[in-house]
Amino acid sequence: MEKKRIVVAMTGASGALLGIRLLQELRKTGAETHFVLSDWARRTIELETDYTVEQVCALADLVYPADDLAASISSGSFQTDGMVIMPCSMKTLSAIANGFSYNLIARAADVALKERRPLIVVPRETPLSSIHLRNMLSLSGDGAILLPPCIGFYTRPKTLEDAVDHLVGKVLDELHIPHQIYPRWTGAES
């Protein structure tokens, strides 16, 4: 299998562990990762996990500052196999849905959409307002894959890690990256 090149972004929405686990699993697959995290993502990592920002950045092949709009991933001529924003704040989701490329995360997402590359958005908010839903519908209509962090109970998760792994596996599925991070449904036994 050819090595995949994936852009990963983390915003300040709650759920930093989701993005961290994705980076860990992408590393195992041998994918080349290009990583951007917002200032609030840095703070959320510190608040929600035992990881340092430096440890998280070390999981990626290349790391870009969120204000570097001259980075390679800001151009459609830089070939990638997709982008994942995990977790994605409603601020970032709104910016992407409305074409407001105010930082590298929003610009790289805009590039993924315009180049018809997979853009997987893991929105982290609840409850959802009609504004959130309209922005999600807009993104979906433009080709983005909305993958809310919903627990798959058929895998019978016993720990938070089990639930996170199921979600990370769903993201890997959307990127067409083989994995065995969670057990697949094989049908109900009669």
In eight-state DSSP terms, residue 4 is P
Q: What is the DSSP string of 106-149?
A: HHHHHHHHHTT--EEEEE--SSPPHHHHHHHHHHHHTTPEE---
Q: Which of 116, 159, 142 is nearest to 17 (CA)?
A: 159
Q: What is the mean pLDDT of residues 94-100?
A: 97
Tell me the pLDDT tens digit for each residue of 7-57. Answer: 999 999 999 999 999 999 999 999 999 999 999 999 999 999 999 999 999
Q: What contacts 24+ positions apart, CB below 8 Å, involve 137-141?
A: 138/97, 138/98, 139/93, 139/96, 139/97
Q: What is the mean pLDDT of residues 119-136?
A: 97
Q: What is the mean pLDDT of residues 49-78?
A: 98
pLDDT at 186: 87
pLDDT at residue 66 is higher than 70: yes
pLDDT at 189: 76
pLDDT at 1: 58
On the CB side of 70, CA atoms within 13 Å amount to 0
- All structural domains of the chain: 5-174 (3.40.50.1950)
**CA dist., res. 76 & res. 181, Å (int):** 31
